[in-house]
Structure 1
Amino acid sequence: MNYIDLFAGAGGLSDGFIRAGYEPIVHVEMDEAACYTLKTRVAYHYLKATENIGVYRAYLRNDITREQLYGYIPRDLLSSVINLPIGGESNSKIHSLIDDQLDQKNISKKDVDLIIGGPPCQAYSVVGRARSENGMKGDPRNYLYVQYARYLETYQPKMFVFENVLGLKSAQKGIFLSNMERLFEKKGYKIEVFTVEANNFNVLQNRKRIIIIGWKDDFVPTLPDLEAVRLNQGDHVESLLKDLPPLNAGEGKDKYMDYARLPDKYLRSSGIRERLRELTQHVARPHTQQDKEIYKIVVDKWNNHSERLDYNSLPEKLKTHSNRDAFVDRFKVVAANCPYSQTVVAHIAKDGHYYIHPDITQNRSLTVREAARLQSFPDSYYFEGVKEKGSRTAAFKQIGNAVPPLMAYEIAKVLKPVLESVT
């Protein structure tokens, strides 16, 4: 099975499909840093497939540069990552680049199996609308699904997978979702909308999302019920943290560190901890003394009393935010003894107050690697910045906006027999 990935981000959705045995044709993404992440992931998969993974390990150890890493990868593979915004004048160029990849891979347009991906979600998210003065009305991102439909029309895949936030159902009182359905039907596709929770797919995170499965209206598929999936094995968040070296605020290394202990069952079965021994991007943010005082209160409240902090209950000297009515849970521990964490969102790039490590002796927020694990990214995933050196802000943003690869993998698996029945 092959696919085109639109609005690819850092490739979380794509990586799940690759793990399930699908082959990417192209990834299209406008963010430059995310495109470097995608290229580095292309390098990983190529080197692994050609039994040359030692080159990738050398990159994680900082023995070779990114440019040197890419020198081992065929140009046509690297050029399958298209760094352009979808829409407007870019579309013709994107189509040309996709057609080049189809030719190189000997795939005709009529043999494209899938289009996957979902437009940026800020315009549909409840939080995004609440923070916008006009509720995101007039935001051009509201209409990126129109561009998605144009790619369906051009490449006529057998099916598509469209991921987005739960707020899509309520945005403009459901008008956008209704308009999507009508537009997709006009392009020759029927759809079914599923509301899924990542923790039901064995991701240790509370993350509700919309998954729209679309199919060409010339066949009737037997779709799996994604809402009925229950794959959680009873694991807890501590499984994602306990093999990592303890850090204090401001400590750690981008490339690389050794693990503190062997992986547990969950890390092995989920594919998060692989055979590579190089641990990267385990660097803790520096924090102010005031923040660290608050963090200790937050962690103590949860670990000893199973209580969350209400911001207004802090000592007066620690309350510096003028808004005392909204976001009173702005400081929150990632509870080790829970089966899943709070939702990881792109705001983690701004500060870590909502993602405090549960070990009070470390007294810090999560590292990039810990946040990536909550999203079920494998440890072999390296999140790039625009420059050679990894950017913590860029990495957090990519992680917060991603689809959990483990959830994507399970969706890809159950869709495979449906696709095979129509090829």
Structure 2
Amino acid sequence: MNFLDIFSGAGGLSEGFLRTGFEPIAHIERDAYACKTLETRSVYYYMKKTNNLKLYREYQESYYSTSGEREEKRRKLLSLVPEDELEPVMNLEISEATLPLIFQKIDNRLAHMKQNSVDLIIGGPPCQAYSLVGRARDEKSMEDDPRNYLYKLYVRFLTRYQPKAFVFENVPGILTAFKGTLFKNLQSYMKRVGYNIEARKLNAKYFGVLQDRKRIIIVGWRKDIEYQFPIIENQIQNHIVNDLINDLPRLFSGQSTVDSCYKSPPNNLLEEMKIRGPRDILTHHEARSNVQRDLDIYNIVVEKWNKEKSRLKYPDLPEHLITHKNLTSFLDRFKVVAGDEQYSHTVVAHISKDGHHYIHPDITQNRSLTVREVARIQSFPDDYFFEGPRTSNFVQIGNAVPPLMAERLADWFKIRLEYNTADKVK
């Protein structure tokens, strides 16, 4: 089974399908740093297939080197992989102007793979235009944002390649954008080009992810194929969020780990979630620097949670710590990740702006979460290497589909697609 990943981001959704044995045709993404992350992940899978992960781990260890040294090691790593062994990662914005080039590259890739059809298309357009928070902050409710209509370009891929099925992921706000008319139009477009579709709100916490993360998953099946929305039994981890991060070295504001070593061996949760294995190397574990005022607020927020299990509202801070004039909305701008609960609150790309909404639960560390800690909450494995600066890393992770959630969807699709293929052969 193969798949085409469009609006790929850093590859959280495709990671699930790769783990399940699907073969990638191509990834298409406009963000340059996310594309570099996708390329590096492609190298990982090649090295794994050829039993050369030692070379990949050597590159991981360069994370704490200078950016120049790391880039040099990355070029060396890429040079070790035959060019035709890696599927194309297209650093292109999907638009009417770029579609002919994108289609040509996909066609060439299919010819190289000796395949004449696409089994599955996955991906979801950028969600900012559909986000309830984004619409609340924009005086025109994002109605003028051209990203509202990227679903039409998604449909162009369905029209050209007629995959057996597709998975379209987005935020719940897509259902109510333009008072619901946008979603109705999206459905009409997809049905018009030959697909039965169904949309459901799914929560990552029922897929084994330690995060309360609600997303809309739209599934479409070509009309000549037996149609059914994925039926996946709820899987809830019997662990707490602290179990995800307690093996990582303790850090304070502005600190970084001095090497790639962990504080302790992996626990059962990390092994069950495929986050950390016995030979993994720690990367991306650096704490942001904060001014003293923010650290004082962090301390108050964590202490209030530990003592009362309640969230602090911004106007309740001591007067000398209040600097924002807006005291009527976004009152939870400082929020601790509940380490003693089963689920974290939702990770979003805004974490790239500051870490105030993702304060570490250990009051003695008094800082916000690192990139690696946030990646774990999203169920990314420790061998997933995010390229680019820390700000971009946070955006890539915050916008991603949790790989563990994607893997369970992929497992279901693999069975259904193989069943339909076998049935046609008969």
Q: TM-score range by the shorter chain?
A: over 0.9
What corresponds to 2:51 in structure 1?
A: 51
The residue that corresponds to 1:275 in the other structure is 278
| Corresponding residue for residue 174 of structure 1 | 180
Match of 1:233 in 2: 237
SS, match of residue 166 in structure 2: strand
CA contact (8 A) 2:203 2:214 kept: yes
- TM superposition shift of 1:233: 2.3
SS in 1 for 2:220: strand
TM superposition shift of 1:276: 3.0
Aligned residues: 413
| Aligned residue identity for 1:374 | I
**Contact kept in structure 2, 1:236 and 1:337, CA below 8 Å:** yes
Q: 1:13-24 maps to which residues of 2 (within 5 A)?
A: 13-24=13-24
Counterpart residue number, 2:414: 416
1:136 and 1:256 mapped to 2: Cα distance? 44
- Structure 2 matches for 1:210-289, cutoff 5 A? 210-226=216-232, 229-253=233-257, 256-289=259-292
| Other-structure match for 2:110 | 102
Contact 1:117 1:162 in 2 (8 A): yes
TM-score for the superposition, normalised by structure 1 = 0.96
1-structure distance, mates of 2:107, 2:179: 38
Following TM superposition, where does structure 1 have runs of at least 4 consecutive aligned residues deviating by more than 4 angstroms?
none
Determine the C-alpha separation between the residues in 1 that align with 2:190 and 2:3. 18
One-letter amino acid of the counterpart of residue 317, structure 2: L
Question: Which of these residues, 133, 137, 145, is aligned with residue 139 of structure 2?
Answer: 133
What letter corresponds to residue 314 of structure 1 in structure 2?
L
SS of structure 1 residue aligned to 2:249: coil
- Give the gaps of 5 or more residues in structure 2: 63-69, 422-426
- Residue number among 61, 73, 77 corresponding to 2:81 in the alignment: 73
2:297 corresponds to which of 284, 294, 297: 294
The percentage of aligned residue pairs carrying the same residue is: 52
Partners of 1:78 and 1:87 in 2: how far apart?
24
Q: Partners of 2:250 and 2:362 in 1: how far apart? A: 9
Alignment of 1:104-123 (within 5 A): 104-108=112-116, 111-123=117-129
CA contact (8 A) 1:223 1:418 kept: no
2:390 is the alignment partner of 1:382: no
Could you tell me how far apart the structure 2 residues matched to 1:46 and 1:152 are? 29
1:219 deviation in Å? Answer: 2.1
Of stretches 269-278 and 205-214 in structure 1, the one that deviates more from structure 2 is: 269-278
SS at structure 2 position matched to 1:33: helix
- Residue deviations 1:308-337 (CA, integer Å, cap 9, x gap): 111111100000011111111110000111
Q: Is the Cα–Cα contact under 8 Å of residues 60 and 283 in structure 2 kept in the other structure?
A: yes
Distance 1:383 1:233, change over 3 A: same
> Paired residue for 1:317?
320
**Cα distance 1:321–1:381, how it changes in 2: closer, same or farther (>3 A)?**
same
- 2:340 aligned with 1:337, yes or no? yes
Give the secondary structure class of the aligned counterpart of 2:139: coil
Aligned equivalents of 2:87 and 2:93: distance in 1?
Answer: 15
The answer to whether the 8 A contact 1:258-1:277 is kept is: no
CA deviation after TM superposition for structure 1 residue 256, in Å:
4.5
Shift of 1:79: 5.5
Distance in 2, matches of 1:220 and 1:182, equals 20
AA in 2 matched with 1:104: H
| Equivalent residue number for residue 353 of structure 1 | 356
Look up the SS of the partner of 2:339 in the other structure.
coil
User: Residue 53 of structure 1 aligns to which amino acid in structure 2?
Assistant: L
Q: Is the 8 A contact 2:24 2:87 kept in 1?
A: no
Any unmatched runs of 5+ in structure 1? 386-390
Q: For residues 72-124 of structure 1, what are the alpha-carbon distances to aligned partners after superposition, in whole Å with 9 as ceiling and x for unaligned?
A: 1221344610110111211111111111111111111xx31000000000111
CA distance in 2 between counterparts of 1:224 and 1:326 reads 38
Does residue 392 (structure 1) correspond to residue 376 (structure 2)? The answer is: no
Q: Deviations over 1:213-251 (max 9, x none)?
A: 10111122243335xx31012211011110000000111
Match of 1:388 in 2: none
CA offsets per residue over residues 267-325 of structure 1, 9 Å max, x none? 00110113333100000000000000000000101112211111111100000011111
| SS at structure 1 position matched to 2:415 | helix
Output the CA distance in 1 between the equivalents of 2:174 and 2:325.
Answer: 31
Q: Is 1:206 paired with 2:209? A: no
- 1:187 aligned onto 2:193: yes
Moved more, 285-294 or 269-278: 269-278
CA deviation vs aligned residue, 1:251-272 (integer Å, no higher than 9, x gap): 114x942000011111001101
Out of 400, 403, 407, the position equivalent to 2:401 is 403
The normalised TM-score by structure 2 is: 0.95
Structure 1 residue 416 displacement after superposition = 1.4
Distance 1:77 1:399 in 2: 26
